[in-house]
Amino acid sequence: MTDRYSVIGRPINHTKSPLIHGLFAEVTDQDLTYGAIEGSLDGFEDQVLCFRDEGGRGMNITAPFKLRAYELANERSERATLAKASNALKFEHGKIYAENFDGIGLLRDIEHNLQVPLAGRNVLVLGAGGAVRGAVLPFLAAGPARLVIANRDLTKARALAAEVNDDRLHVCGYDALVGQDFDLVINATSASLTGELPPVATAVFGHALLAYELAYGKGLTPFLRLAREAGVMRLADGVGMLVEQAAEAFEWWRGVRPETRPVIDRLTVPLE
């Protein structure tokens, strides 16, 4: 019997996940189908349970349901627990297992695909949502000198720092970035989804080797344009992260890790 997987989110019409996992299944010779489900704000949990009860083996979770997916699970990984959010579920042995591959996918794209190691670097992340919470442990394991998370809601950011309890992790508001510059700047806010610029000055890019935009397929976003104007030579959007986190989920479900480079190349949209 062909195994069934799906992604669920709202809205979902933009998703590339069925294409990505279809390509993964083809190159790894896995017998599976992968669909997309428009999530219901009132009935998300029922939709997940219905998919499982009808034979579904696993799901990817995208906005705005990652926190609710985490709560629905019976078993949660360390990464998902820290993030309090899940972007992948697995249905096995009568349980719902939750994982969060956003952070490890982002780190792999930066270090492996873009060849920018975090070790010894000063790293700035704008935003403190679920993807950032999932990235903190993988990022710190990569050995940065300093990891700064800037966010409008300091309560949320400080709670994250208290949970991690690592001297290299610092949180602050955007105004506290004045006079600081970084080797790597990552925009994990939702600003680029609406064509807006996060409240950050060009000075933060003073020594930046890379400016990274988590949003993908948006071209030269206001954040990336600001980085380029500040002199940053390397710009990237989140298509590599998208594919790498998908590969992590695919391996978690199927036990085989697909090659990601051909898929990244296929989905990459020029930033100009």
Residue 15 among known ligand-binding residues: yes
Residue 134 among known ligand-binding residues: no
Residue 268 among known ligand-binding residues: no
**Torsion, Cα of 260, 262, 267, 268 (10° steps):** 100
Residue 29 near residue 41, CB atoms below 8 Å: no
Q: Residue 120: which residues within 8 A CB-CB, separation 6 or more? A: 143, 144, 145
Residue 16 among known ligand-binding residues: yes
Residue 118 among known ligand-binding residues: no
Residue 192 among known ligand-binding residues: no
Catalytic residue flag (residue 66): yes
Residue 214 among known ligand-binding residues: yes
Residue 17 near residue 7, CB atoms below 8 Å: yes
Q: Catalytic residue among 66, 90, 95, 156, which?
A: 66
> Which amino acid is located at 126 in the chain?
L
Place of tokens 């391996």: 251
Residue 169 near residue 161, CB atoms below 8 Å: yes
Residue 62 among known ligand-binding residues: yes
Residue 60 among known ligand-binding residues: no
Residue 143 among known ligand-binding residues: no
Residue 193 among known ligand-binding residues: no
Residue 131 among known ligand-binding residues: yes
Residue 123 near residue 139, CB atoms below 8 Å: yes
The 8-class DSSP code of residue 231 comes to: T
Q: Residue 209: which residues within 8 A CB-CB, separation 6 or more? A: 116, 121, 183, 184, 232, 233, 234
Residue 87 among known ligand-binding residues: yes
Phi-psi region of 210 (alpha: psi -120 to 50; beta: other; left: phi over 0): beta
Positive or negative CA dihedral for 50, 53, 56, 61?
A: positive
Which residues are documented as binding site?
15-17, 62, 78, 87, 102, 127-131, 214, 216, 238, 245
- What are the catalytic residues? 66
Which residues are documented as binding site for NADP(+)?
78, 127-131, 214, 238
Which residues are documented as binding site for shikimate?
15-17, 62, 87, 102, 216, 245
